[in-house]
Structure 1
Amino acid sequence: MRKKVYITSLILIVMILIGMYYPLPYYVTEPGMAKDLEPIIKVDNGYKEKGNFMLTTVRMGRANIYSYIGAKLSKYDELNSVDEVLGKQVTEEEYNAEQLYLMQGAKLNAIEVAYRKAGLPVQYKYKGIYVIHVVPGMPADGKLQAGDRIYKVDGQQLASSQEFIDLVGKKHAGDQVTLTFLRNNKTQTVQLKVQPFKNEPNRVGIGISLVDDKEILVDPEVSVKTDEIGGPSAGLMFSLEIYNQLNKEDYTKGYQIAGTGTIDPDGTVGPIGGIEQKIVAADKAGAEIFFAPNVKGGKDSNYPAAVKTARDIHTKMKIVPVDTFDDAINYLNKLPNK
């Protein structure tokens, strides 16, 4: 009898572990968090605020049996296939590297928008290029990986990503190129032979997708610590928090203000994914106002879905459509002090 109970218990434990750790070919996204930005963003000698600007997030992870069932039962959880999220040739590591780069870009754009709005100068220092994707079967395959930062080609310091493309593009099939790069803060060197691309036999390369790595130079200095949060969707809220710390006037007016949206260097606010889940997260965190990308009422506008979700969850949170950074500032200017 004891042996039978033991075997049954062992089978149950194994089944539970399989359910927890066996990955299904799906990703689950669900409402994440709404996080105060003042502890994350620090402008040297910046002004304090009575309320808060908050970024909102969506939590995403590889589905197991339990999270798959939970997503099917939850109105605000979503399931997407691995191919829908990653595409056919992108690895999970490459996807994560791209998301972290997009977050870095959001920071730079937000700083530029806020400082220029405050009438302060902005300059950039070029540092190299980031590897985002390595093409299978090309020379870089197995030698470089997503997240590597290349800063020299054949011993020559890079001044732009276009210079990298030009230097490599001038070579002929079989020519060697020496790359100096950083990986995990350690300098490495690799020598590769360029070869033609399968779909473009007249063009040679090493087989990487790349983006610029640059540092923004501003005074007063500003730091934005986001740890492992990825993606570009916090751009608008970053810019508002930075601008608020640069100004004596407190644009929060004492309110809890959440929102989302990408930010371009010219202040344009772009659409994002997961607006419904971010509305839920903001409401749970006690936000009173939520800025939603409107895209001038176009088909990509997040505003209608944000309003619908707010209505569905019976929140008192005010949903405000914005097309630009200035739209948000103009709304806050008219907002009465709490």
Structure 2
Amino acid sequence: MSRRALTLLLAGFLVLALGIVGAFRPVPYVVLSPGPTENTIGEVDKKPVISIKGRETYPTTGSLSLVTVAYQGGPAAQIDLLTALRGWIDPTVAVVPQETIFAPDRDPREVEEENSVEMTNSQDSATAAALNELKIRYDLAVTVVSTEKGKPADGKLRKGDEINSVDGRPAKDVDVVGDTVKAHKPGQSVLFNVTRGKDKLDVTVPTVAGPEGQTQVGLLMQAKYKFPFDVDINVGDVGGPSAGLMFSLGILDKLTPGELTGGKQIAGTGTIEPSGKVGAIGGIAQKMVGAQDAGATVFLTPADNCAEAVKAAPSGLRLVRADTMHDAVLALDALRTGKGNVPACDAG
């Protein structure tokens, strides 16, 4: 073998070896793929997803399924380049920079705690939204779960503080408190009135700019509702707030005679406020694939996700726009009866 041929052969082996090594090197990306679905009017591990005690309930049929996104990667378990490349090729998954899911200045344990609290808040907000839709009264209190170390609220507000008002505005729910804080410019102060033990205190907290530019004080809150009957939601390890709309519809379906779905396989997503307003979520493309894989033919879509959803919707999945829970109920009534308007998503 000539020296030239040997050199080319060795160079080829070297390139191949480097390519193999490089393919298995960790990269700062996260792969998002369709996650499991759960029927909110069905069961998980032989237990009802939604259990209601102290109030009459009614039989249900069909499904009102929440959808999820599974992910690979993260600071503690980075994916390799080969996994990222496979994700880029697969149209049903998305590969995104790690920092879009895990903020670089956040402890993963704090993110996990926040997701857990968001899921609890989502379940409570869903119950409140369903009761509001049915005009059933309830009480609530907004409480402090934790403060973020190094942020202005740290050392000023304490775990267990019950927030009565913020800047004189009654703390009717978590969103009222959050929106009032965000309405300030970074550096301005917010006046909290809290109940701590037996005392009522005024606590002034300065604000700072958060990672995305929103004004914040570094406060994690939870609304403690006092409902006139017990609503228990069992979804295992699912976290985050995006199942709120489907929880609220599942609760309403169980509390009312008749069948909200008409026996159809319905799936959907969206955060929910106690007022019934539906909010946007992430991972809409993967959630639609998961919904169709689970047999859904109709997908309830937050209005702010419609434009993206239309571009990525699997063939045969009907997208129904849901601005509010009430709108979603009317749309399901129209689908069931064949009468009335069914608002569709458009490309915006």
Relative to the length of structure 2, the TM-score reads 0.67
Amino acid at match of 2:31: V
Counterpart among 25, 28, 33 of residue 25 in structure 1: 28
Q: Does the alignment pair 1:262 with 2:271?
A: yes
Identify unmatched segments of 5+ residues in structure 1.
Answer: 1-14, 144-148, 153-157, 171-178, 181-195, 201-206, 295-300
- 1:218 CA displacement: 1.6
What pairs with 1:82-97 in structure 2 (closer than 5 Å)? 82-97=98-113
CA RMSD of aligned residues (A): 3.7
What pairs with 1:1-338 in structure 2 (closer than 5 Å)? 19=24, 23-38=26-41, 39-44=48-53, 45-62=56-73, 63-65=78-80, 66-126=82-142, 128-131=143-146, 133-135=148-150, 150-151=159-160, 158=162, 160=164, 209-294=218-303, 301-310=304-313, 313-314=314-315, 316-336=316-336
- 1:219 CA displacement: 2.5
Aligned partner of residue 43 in structure 1, secondary structure: strand
Decide whether aligned partners of structure 1 residues 132 and 236 sit closer, same or farther in structure 2, where only a CA change above 3 A counts: farther
The question of whether the paired residues in 2 share the 8 Å contact of 1:135 and 1:208 is answered with no
How many Å separate the matches in 2 of 1:139 and 1:244?
A: 40
Decide whether aligned partners of structure 1 residues 210 and 197 sit closer, same or farther in structure 2, where only a CA change above 3 A counts: closer
Amino acid at match of 1:120: I
- 1:55 CA displacement: 0.1
The question of whether the paired residues in 2 share the 8 Å contact of 1:129 and 1:210 is answered with yes
Q: Kindly report structure 1 stretches of 4+ aligned residues shifted beyond 3 Å.
A: 158-163, 196-200
How many Å separate the matches in 1 of 2:149 and 2:230?
A: 35
How many Å separate the matches in 2 of 1:245 and 1:272?
A: 25
Q: Structure 1, residues 124-154: CA drift from partner, whole Å, max 9, x if none?
A: 145x412263238x996xx9xxxxx8226xx
How many Å separate the matches in 2 of 1:199 and 1:253?
A: 49
Task: Name the count of aligned residue pairs.
Answer: 270
How many Å separate the matches in 1 of 2:72 and 2:116?
A: 16
Identify unmatched segments of 5+ residues in structure 2.
Answer: 1-19, 42-47, 168-176, 178-189, 198-204, 210-215, 339-348
- 1:105 CA displacement: 1.9
Amino acid at match of 2:103: G
Q: Structure 1, residues 21-64: CA drift from partner, whole Å, max 9, x if none?
A: x7532222111122111231112242221111000101123142
Amino acid at match of 1:112: A
- 1:337 CA displacement: 6.1
Decide whether aligned partners of structure 1 residues 89 and 288 sit closer, same or farther in structure 2, where only a CA change above 3 A counts: same
How many Å separate the matches in 2 of 1:35 and 1:286?
A: 12
The question of whether the paired residues in 1 share the 8 Å contact of 2:147 and 2:159 is answered with no
The question of whether the paired residues in 1 share the 8 Å contact of 2:26 and 2:79 is answered with yes
Aligned partner of residue 245 in structure 1, secondary structure: helix
How many Å separate the matches in 2 of 1:272 and 1:198?
A: 26
Once the two structures are aligned, what percentage of the paired residues are identical? 28
The question of whether the paired residues in 2 share the 8 Å contact of 1:46 and 1:245 is answered with yes
How many Å separate the matches in 1 of 2:26 and 2:112?
A: 18
Relative to the length of structure 1, the TM-score reads 0.69
How many Å separate the matches in 2 of 1:199 and 1:268?
A: 28
How many Å separate the matches in 1 of 2:208 and 2:33?
A: 39
- 1:304 CA displacement: 2.8
Decide whether aligned partners of structure 1 residues 33 and 161 sit closer, same or farther in structure 2, where only a CA change above 3 A counts: farther
Decide whether aligned partners of structure 1 residues 59 and 132 sit closer, same or farther in structure 2, where only a CA change above 3 A counts: farther
